[in-house]
Structures are given as C-alpha cells and as structure tokens.
C-alpha cells in the first residue's frame, strides 16, 4: 500500500502530464474538434527546453522553480506523510512561492494575477481544511495511508462535503467559471506571464502535479475501494470539463460569495450533523 503511494508521489509529474493530455483531448471532443495527441504536454515540455529563457531577474526565476519543487514536495507529504493537514498547508506554501514570484516583477498583469491568486487561496483553503476534518470524523485517522485502508465508503457519510469539493475543483485547477487568476483573455495567464523557456516549464509542470493532488483527494472519498474511486474520479473529471466548457468567467466577488456563503456552510452542515450523530446521539 505505502509503496503505491510513494510511486505515485515520485512519478506525479508524468501521471499529471498524461491527465492533462487526456483532458485536452476530452475538451476538444466536447467542442466537436479532434484535439491534440495524448503526449502533447510532453512535446511542449521538450520544446520549452530548447527555447532561450528570458529572465526578468534571478529571484523571479527562482520562485518559479521553487513553486515546482514545493508543489511536488507538498504532494509527497500529502500522500506519504503522517498527517493530511501537513500536505494541505505545504500546498498553501507552494502557492505562496508562486504569488511572491508574481509580485516581484513590474508587469501589471503579473501583479493583478497574484492578487487574484490570493483570493483563490482565501476561497478554497478553508474548504480543504473542513474536508480533512470530515475525513477524520469518518475514518478516525489523520494519515492518508490509513484513510486508503478504510474498508467503508466515506462518500456515504460526506455527500455534501463531496459536492462542495467538486464545485471548488475549478478554483483549484484554475478552470472556468473560477479561472480568475489566470484569465487568458484579460490578464494573459496572470502570475505566469513573465516566465519563459525553462522557467515557464517549471510552472507548466507544477500545474500537472495539481491535477494529481485534486484526484488523490477524490480517491480519498472511496476509502479502500480503488475501482469505485477510479469511476468516481472519471465522473468528476468529465463533470469539471463540461463545466469548464459551458460556463463563463465570474468576478472575484462572485467567487468569494459562492465559496464562503454556499460551499463552506454546506460542508460545515455535513460535518456538524455527522459529529452530532457520532458523539452525541
């Protein structure tokens, strides 16, 4: 069991690359197009290595590379570490590198994107903490490895938390309707706007690791039933892509309102009822 998680953590850039390539095909088919080949992200990877990097200044480039390694480390700590919360907090730290890198250049798009990235963190991270609490109430452990050994299905006890998490996935993966921090038509990618060549590659690969991070959390909702988890993550994958294709971008006010006044109370209600049922009744 532990070695599977360790392998996934080690190979996460490659697994995430395949997920991203598959996603681009699915998105193209939804728009009645053929779409790129499955290996397209890796072709982009090789091409970006052959470009001449233009550095704004060395600190900015270093933050790009730190973002990649910190995201990878956060995923490893999430899957193999003793506590699910450590992984979630390290994930916030990784985003902090990205945000500081975005603030350190003069480009207004980059600074605006970093501000919006902070809004993303404010909207999503409380929900992830509540999710960890809910999983603890059901499985009785903080360790992800132990959660994957839980014989039952946590989804049965945490349906509202799961719905809240699925609706928050677009904000974590920067997809429409909540792609406000990397709005490609208005602020050209946000904090990633000044990276080029090898340094953009680090950002590009870190985004693949986020896919593994999100779908690992979806797997947690099915406990030890791996086949059910695979089916569930496929359904979530197609739902998120359909949502991405069919909605337009919201403003950050709308995103914060949706996250704090709808998703958080939904998750909190589920956990409240569960705790009452477990410890009081």
Joined together, the tokens standing for residue 176 give 């429409």
- CB of 1 or CB of 54, closer to another protein: 54
| Residue of 142, 132, 148, 144 whose CA lies nearest to 225 | 148
Q: What count of other Cβ atoms lies within 10 Å of the Cβ of residue 34? A: 8
Q: Which residue has the tokens 């480009």?
A: 107
- Give min distance, CB of 195 to another protein, in A: 7
The conformation of residue 7, written as its DSSP 8-state character, comes to: H
Instruction: Answer for the pair 64, 203: CB distance below 8 angstroms, yes or no.
Output: yes
- CB of 21 or CB of 134, closer to another protein: 21
- CB of 115 or CB of 188, closer to another protein: 188
Q: What count of other Cβ atoms lies within 10 Å of the Cβ of residue 163? A: 14
Instruction: Answer for the pair 64, 71: CB distance below 8 angstroms, yes or no.
Output: no
- Give min distance, CB of 29 to another protein, in A: 10
- Give min distance, CB of 28 to another protein, in A: 6
156's CB contacts (< 8 A; 6+ apart) are none
- Cα–Cα distance for residue pair 77/146, rounded to 1 Å: 14
- CB of 154 or CB of 189, closer to another protein: 189
Instruction: Answer for the pair 55, 61: CB distance below 8 angstroms, yes or no.
Output: yes
- Give min distance, CB of 41 to another protein, in A: 9
- Give min distance, CB of 113 to another protein, in A: 12
- CB of 34 or CB of 251, closer to another protein: 34
SS3 sequence, 104-169? Answer: CCCCHHHHHHHHHHHHHHHHHHHHHHHHHHHHHHHHCCCCHHHHCCCCCCHHHHCHHHHHHHHHHH
Instruction: Answer for the pair 212, 16: CB distance below 8 angstroms, yes or no.
Output: yes
* CA distance to 71, 98, 118, 206, 271, per residue, from 68 (Å): 5, 9, 18, 5, 33
Q: Which residues contribute to the site for another protein (CB under 8 A)? A: 24, 28, 31-37, 40, 43-44, 46-47, 50-54, 184-185, 188-189, 193-197, 200
- Give min distance, CB of 24 to another protein, in A: 8
- CB of 87 or CB of 190, closer to another protein: 190
- CB of 48 or CB of 220, closer to another protein: 48
- Give min distance, CB of 27 to another protein, in A: 9
């Amino acid at each position: 069991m532990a070695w599977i998680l360790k392998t996934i953590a080690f190979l996460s850039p490659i697994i995430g690359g395949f997920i991203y390539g598959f996603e681009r095909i699915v998105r193209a088919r939804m728009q009645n197009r053929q779409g790129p080949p499955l290996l397209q992200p890796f072709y982009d990877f090789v091409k970006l290595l052959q470009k001449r990097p233009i550095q704004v200044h060395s600190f900015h480039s270093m933050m790009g590379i730190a973002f990649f390694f910190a995201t990878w480390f956060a995923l490893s700590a999430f899957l193999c570490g003793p506590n699910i919360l450590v992984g979630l907090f390290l994930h916030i730290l990784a985003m902090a590198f990205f945000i500081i890198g975005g603030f350190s250049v003069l480009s207004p798009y980059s600074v605006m994107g970093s501000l919006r990235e902070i809004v993303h963190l404010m909207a999503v991270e409380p929900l992830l903490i509540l999710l960890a609490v809910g999983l603890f109430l059901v499985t009785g452990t903080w360790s992800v490895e132990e959660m994957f050994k839980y014989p039952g299905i946590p989804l049965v006890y945490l349906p509202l938390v799961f719905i809240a998490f699925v609706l928050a996935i677009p904000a974590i993966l920067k997809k429409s309707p909540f792609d406000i921090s990397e709005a490609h038509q208005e602020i050209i990618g946000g904090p990633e706007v000044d990276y080029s060549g090898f340094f953009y590659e680090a950002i590009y690969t870190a985004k693949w690791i986020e896919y593994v991070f999100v779908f690992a959390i979806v797997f947690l909702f099915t406990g030890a039933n791996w086949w059910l988890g695979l089916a569930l993550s496929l359904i979530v994958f197609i739902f998120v892509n359909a949502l991405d294709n069919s909605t337009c971008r919201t403003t950050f006010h709308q995103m914060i309102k949706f996250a704090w006044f709808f998703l958080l109370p939904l998750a909190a209600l589920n956990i409240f009822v569960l705790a009452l049922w477990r410890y009081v009744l």
